[in-house]
């Protein structure tokens, strides 16, 4: 389901569940931002009717009530939309409890702890420890970056942000004005996808390269939010994972494990160096620069030149 539509349906459901009296179409239109932006009355009416039908298909009981003045109102009574009691076996409860503990490194730990208490009330036995049930796992979502929480909230609330960002080939950070779309974790690092207002294009930012504080800005988004945000695919292309060519590099022994994991061939050269063949795609030069003096590009020549240029830019800074 498209992100915008899912958000619209959720807002409509919350309005219908949160009211004590029937709400008219006019009131619902004034309460939900997506309906205000619908344009003509016909467009809004078609959208509202589709959304109402979709919610009913999902199981929400929506009542239609005619008021004394003849205006039709809608509401979803809570007693008609209560879920049946939750029953969990030990394995199901342990798995959910394990998921609730994932966020212990973030300020979300409080909410996760509350959710875990509700799980216990719903059927998680007191003597079932999620870690004991899955003792080999130590689940964590790494959220060491201070930028994570403000960006997560900005993505949720659709608020533009401003932050200072240092690119891999730059010595000094630059200010970026971004409309954040989504956060995603890839190989232990968090990335933000969004619309870069200064460049007028979609961009992906690595949170560990954000310096200073993330500041919120007022106003609406200027670019539409895509239905699907391909964060991992973009980052994977930087690392050459969508490449159809090979690069040959020298790598110090016992260094650059991520490069070794991608290598299609490895040959020992002696004197503390190995030779690797790795997939070559867009952005590989930026990735290789991160390994500093542990990597020397042998071929192709254009990749070597790109890496040298990036290193010189950092040295000049």
Q: List pLDDT tens digits, range 254-304.
A: 888 888 888 889 999 988 999 999 888 766 777 788 888 899 999 988 888
The mean-pLDDT minimum among 29-33, 108-112, 205-209, 312-316 falls in 108-112
Query: What are the residue ranges spanned by the domains of the chain?
Result: 3-80, 90-133, 148-228, 239-316
Helix axes 3-18, 41-57, angle to 10 degrees: 80
Burial class (CB in 10 A: 0-12, 13-18, 19+), 210: buried
CATH class, domain 3-80, is: mainly alpha
- Cα–Cα distance between 286 and 282 in angstroms, integer? 9
CATH class, domain 148-228, is: mainly beta
- Check for a shared fold between 3-80 and 148-228: no
Q: Which residue has the higher pLDDT, 205 or 109?
A: 205
- Cα–Cα distance between 233 and 76 in angstroms, integer? 40
Q: List pLDDT tens digits, range 134-167.
A: 444 444 555 567 888 899 889 888 999 999 998 8
Side-chain-side CA neighbours of 10 within 13 Å: the count stands at 8
Q: List pLDDT tens digits, range 194-241.
A: 999 999 998 889 888 898 899 998 888 999 988 777 777 777 665 555
Phi-psi region at 251: left, alpha or beta (left = phi > 0; alpha = psi -120 to 50): beta
pLDDT of residue 287: 78
User: What pTM, to 2 d.p., does this model score?
Assistant: 0.44
């Amino acid at each position: 389901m498209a992100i915008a539509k899912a958000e619209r349906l959720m807002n409509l459901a919350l309005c219908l569940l949160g009211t004590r009296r029937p709400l008219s179409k006019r009131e619902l239109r004034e309460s939900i931002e997506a309906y205000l932006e619908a344009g003509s009355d016909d467009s809004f009416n078609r959208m509202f009717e589709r959304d109402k039908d979709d919610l009913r298909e999902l199981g929400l009981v929506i009542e239609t009530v005619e008021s004394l003045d003849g205006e039709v109102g809608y509401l979803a009574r809570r007693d008609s939309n209560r879920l049946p009691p939750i029953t969990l076996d030990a394995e199901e409860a342990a798995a959910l409890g394990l998921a609730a503990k994932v966020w212990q490194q973030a300020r979300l730990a409080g909410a996760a702890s509350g959710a875990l208490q509700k799980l216990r009330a719903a059927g998680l036995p007191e003597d079932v420890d999620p870690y004991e049930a899955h003792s080999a796992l130590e689940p964590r979502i790494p959220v060491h970056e201070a930028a994570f929480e403000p960006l997560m909230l900005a993505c949720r609330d659709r608020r533009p942000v401003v932050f200072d960002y240092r690119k891999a080939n730059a010595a000094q950070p630059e200010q970026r004005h971004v409309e954040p779309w989504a956060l995603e974790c890839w190989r232990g690092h968090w990335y933000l996808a969004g619309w870069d207002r200064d460049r007028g294009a979609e961009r992906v930012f690595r949170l560990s390269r954000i310096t200073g504080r993330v500041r919120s800005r007022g106003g609406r988004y200027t670019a539409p939010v895509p239905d699907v945000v391909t964060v991992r695919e973009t980052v994977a292309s930087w690392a050459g994972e969508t490449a159809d060519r090979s690069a040959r590099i020298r790598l110090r022994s016992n260094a650059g494990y991520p490069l070794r994991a991608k290598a299609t061939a490895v040959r020992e050269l002696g004197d503390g160096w190995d030779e690797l063949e790795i997939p070559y795609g867009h952005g590989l030069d930026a990735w290789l620069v991160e390994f500093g003096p542990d990597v020397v590009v042998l071929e192709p020549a254009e990749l070597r030149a790109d890496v040298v240029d990036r290193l010189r830019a950092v040295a000049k800074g």
